[in-house]
Amino acid sequence: MTAWQLSVFAENRPGRLEAITGVLARAGVNIRAIKISDLGEHGVVKLLVNDPDAALQALTAAGILASKRPVLAVAVEDKPGGLHAVLTVLTRRGINVEDAYGFARDRRAILVIEVPDLAAAAEPLRSAGLQPLAEEELYRL
């Protein structure tokens, strides 16, 4: 149920993002989605990749500060209201979404969400028929 996102600490200056993508390219890691959370002089680059362990290893070996962070990835139909359905479920349970991003693939929209308590969010989604993707399923996309 849990998917792993790579979070990379990066200073906000030219070349930092390129250094990250360069390491991943050389390691043969494919990036599914990317999101940058900017904090001013520095930020966190969030990456969904096909092989998080290989990516983490390559980044760490290159001296880049990175860690794996559990997130929920939910697949919905790629049509108006798809995302809204997911958020409605979470809002009803009073669950705060700390960050979210998404991408579309094969007529499906994949929504990646960061919440404080993954299990507490996964359970109502599942009951609403919105099954979070299994790890392997997500990386295989």
- The minimum distance between CB 85 and other proteins, in angstroms, equals 26
- Asked if 50 interacts with other proteins (CB under 8 A), we say no
Distances (CA, A) of 117 to 14, 29, 88, 114, 120: 35, 28, 17, 9, 6
Size of the site for other proteins (CB under 8 A): 24
Q: Which residues contact 39 (CB under 8 A, 6 or more apart)?
A: none
- Asked if 68 interacts with other proteins (CB under 8 A), we say yes
Distances (CA, A) of 33 to 29, 119, 124: 12, 23, 25
- Asked if 72 interacts with other proteins (CB under 8 A), we say no
- The minimum distance between CB 54 and other proteins, in angstroms, equals 17
- Asked if 6 interacts with other proteins (CB under 8 A), we say yes
- Asked if 78 interacts with other proteins (CB under 8 A), we say no
Q: Give the dihedral sign, CA 136/49/107/73.
A: positive
Q: Which chain residues interact with other proteins by CB under 8 A?
A: 5-11, 37, 39, 41-44, 46, 63-69, 98-99, 114
